[in-house]
Structure 1
């Protein structure tokens, strides 16, 4: 291979690994500023509460647009500059509300913030799958989740201090995107744009220059995987959307109690991300099935418990399991994606994930109408039962596709 980036150099380079993982520093587009809603409602007294809440969720719509155009941009300027472009857009538009406290300016900047995130997020996966051997790829997909959780924790912690100054000062937290911009700029070689990891019959992997002129494409397996992500994210949302109401409605505790319990979920994501590689080696192809079943049992048990310590444990189980399922399903993209199509595959998966989160409230409303039961515990129960169905379907998928993970 006519490059200094041979397999050994890439596999062992801590700088390249750190740079690529830093792309996942911002995994959530909403968490850091969600606490500003009550203060914005007071400041924009002439704006409805729903329109204020729109400022928090509209980046998700922007992510969908950014994801769609990410591949086209990457084909023109390459991976590295596409990531830097997305991060720069997210940084600039992310901090705009700190300087212009106008509703429509904030609305537009938040939408563009989501577009920026959508541009670089697909490459946070394809950079890993194209650059490293399959064994290290599995490990780094778990680390990717952990890095995202650590990033969320840091930004939430800093936002907690900034919000004491003023609600719009909180948006300065997005200056932290300078960290991945700098790391990618100096640690990730532009040469990696045109390289991919090829595994031979003996399981040996070499990072080689792409020679294929095959145009990116997709297949039914990728579409099915995107659908699985969509429904999984939709029903996992029952925890974030319904758990607090369940605690309050059943007089188990207050909204503050639920918020306190949610605070531990970030720790779960960090630990599950770090332990994913070891866990996946132990359970192999049944990793997804096992942790989907565990999630199902924990969700159903949630609806039967009125003890705060028990609820905390069950929520943590759900969070830990989700942190294992996500990278395990993501790893399947390597097997499913057609040649020279990982960026497109990742984009399709991310679109499925965001549609799942966006449609969750409406799906739950429809379920409530059909069954005539709108209680939070019923929605959580239905979501748990769905995870059982998902686990059974995955048993079929493992056998059909002869998966190893």
Structure 2
């Protein structure tokens, strides 16, 4: 078994562990620079320009799968530092380049860097913390992702006042994070019997990844569809839609910080509460022809994912094979990335089945919630009988 060393962590070490997550989900943060970038490259199709904000997801998924193997060879701490170094160098490369092809390649390299430390940011918490302390740290980590997106989106807007190249300076944040992490975080210790273990996944991990795939698909669809619902439905302007999306992000951030306290009270019911809140938010968005109802639904969805998603990652160490936490985290994160990728397709399928994508989302989420509650009730009943 792995040893958690959560007895007396310094505040600086905790912040250093969490700081990695500030930059994990910032790949699309330069989206605001794309219209100006398109003017600079008139011979490049708009589809290719748009891929600058998303192409890194491809290499992120690839390196999520091998980051554990690399960490086994050179250590978790060195792998994270290497990933941050690649992220910083590749991320700021477009500041100095006028070649679209070179910029495109740099974005693929950015994905390699993020992919190297993406799952390890969670594995470090799994290995250094335990119990309620770990649950709170995982919640804080989720909130830090949202905080990073909020801050860097704001910084991108300011840098665009200079020119679109400068927007890519935001990835320079990787360098101070790397130094901060290296200075204050010890190399996570794994018991000798697990160091040489062949990492593998089991059915519970796969099912958890599929659940996260669906939840992220729904969460992404809500963020993407809200502007159309607000503007096309004459409920408000694009600025109003942007404000509502910001409230969704802030709700997610708040729930991330509160997760530890909620988990301490709700325990195993945390997951179904999260899926039910997302179901409730989806039905409010799908049926509400009122700006306030749609806004409420969007905010509820913002609260929901950190509850369900953070619980899933917290559960991983209990259900994954011993010594396979890194691979397990990678599989869950691949589920999250695939969910984001297939979101437009998934919503269209739900719309064809139910006539409205959000109503279809509500029905499936409600079924999932009931299924989770039933499974947990049966599991606990069997456990009591076994112990008796």
- String of CA shifts for 1:14-67, please: whole Å, max 9, x gaps: 232222111211131334201112112222211111111111111111110110
Q: Does 1:183 align with 2:214?
A: no
| Aligned equivalent of 2:199 | 216
Task: Give the Å deviation of 1:366.
Answer: 3.9
Name the structure 2 match of 1:390.
368
Cα RMSD for the two superposed structures: 2.0
Residue 98 of structure 2 corresponds to residue 115 of structure 1? no
Q: 1:240 to 1:160 in 2, by over 3 A?
A: same
Paired position in structure 2 for 1:71: 68
Q: Is the 8 A contact 2:281 2:299 kept in 1?
A: no
Q: Report if aligned partners of 1:29, 1:60 keep a CA contact under 8 Å in 2.
A: no
Instruction: Identify which range, 41-50 or 67-76, moves more after superposition.
Output: 41-50
1:242 counterpart residue number:
225
The whole-number CA distance in structure 1 between the counterparts of 2:192 and 2:220 is 39
Greater CA deviation, 40-49 or 326-335? Answer: 40-49
Deviation at 1:222, TM superposition (A): 0.6
- Within a 5 Å distance, the mapping from 1:61-100 to structure 2 comes to 61-100=58-97
Unaligned runs of at least 5 residues, structure 1: 196-208
1:298 to 281, 284, 298: 281
Q: 1:110 to 1:401 in 2, by over 3 A?
A: farther
| SS of equivalent to 1:56 | coil
Equivalent residue number for residue 324 of structure 1: 307
Q: Cα deviations across residues 326-381 of structure 1 (Å, max 9, x unaligned)?
A: 1111111011111111001001111111111111122333444x4495xxxx2222
- In structure 2, the CA distance between the partners of 1:97 and 1:400, relative to structure 1 (3 Å rule), is farther
The TM-score with structure 2 as length reference comes to 0.92
Contact 1:29–1:114, Cα closer than 8 Å, also in 2: no
Q: Is the counterpart of residue 252 in structure 1 residue 235 in structure 2? A: yes
- In structure 1, what is the equivalent of residue 255 of structure 2? 272
Is 1:173 aligned to residue 170 of structure 2? yes
Say if 2:19 is the partner of 1:22: yes
Whether the 8 Å contact between 1:11 and 1:132 is mirrored in structure 2 is no
Q: Distance in 2 between matches of 1:218 and 1:372?
A: 34
- TM-score calculated relative to the size of structure 1: 0.88
Mapped to 2, the partners of 1:92 and 1:401 lie a distance apart of 49
Pick from 346, 349, 367: which aligns with 2:329? 346
CA apart distance, 1:264: 1.8
Distance in 2 (CA, whole Å) between partners of 1:21 and 1:164 is 30
Q: Which runs of 4+ in 1 moved over 3 A?
A: 5-8, 209-213, 365-368, 370-373, 399-404
User: 1:200 maps to what in 2?
Assistant: none
* Residue deviations 1:74-112 (CA, integer Å, cap 9, x gap): 111010000001111111111111110321111111111
Q: CA deviation at 1:136?
A: 0.6
Against the structure 1 CA distance between its residues 86 and 283, is the aligned structure 2 distance closer, same or farther, given a 3 Å change threshold?
same
Which residue in 2 is equivalent to 1:105? 102
Q: 1:291 Cα deviation (Å)? A: 2.2
